[in-house]
Structure 1
């Protein structure tokens, strides 16, 4: 029984420590809540503000930067869309576009 206590204690500590890490959504909720409190919003005004704040996209500095490959894919995809390419023509265009440097 004594041998079982230590592993159970370790598992319990691991599970508890994961609960303390804040997710991006929790961070956003904290920020929006602080902003609403600073503006002294109450009732429906607060609900509307919190809803809009939580739906808002992260600022540019918070967003992940795209890798060069993702940038190239985005550019090629936009070009293919403006040319209204579909099917095999789009597939060929995307292949050629992504191979270029």
Structure 2
């Protein structure tokens, strides 16, 4: 009787560790989100509260928007910095380009 209980206990322990080992690789092998999936999540969060055609239009615009290149940022920031000189311009450009 004692051997049967020990055998059952060993089977239970080995089954539990096998199930745990089987589920661990699934979590580790979950693929990272693609850029498009991240963009979709961000746009979806920004669209909170919008419904119907308004939401559809917003999502279309948000998902099709392209990130401004560094060159485009530089042009825009330079235009906005006209009239500023010295440290004021330097501080403005630093903030503008990091946004």
Establish whether TM, by shorter chain, passes 0.5. Answer: no
Q: TM-score, normalised by structure 1?
A: 0.40
Q: TM-score, normalised by structure 2?
A: 0.40
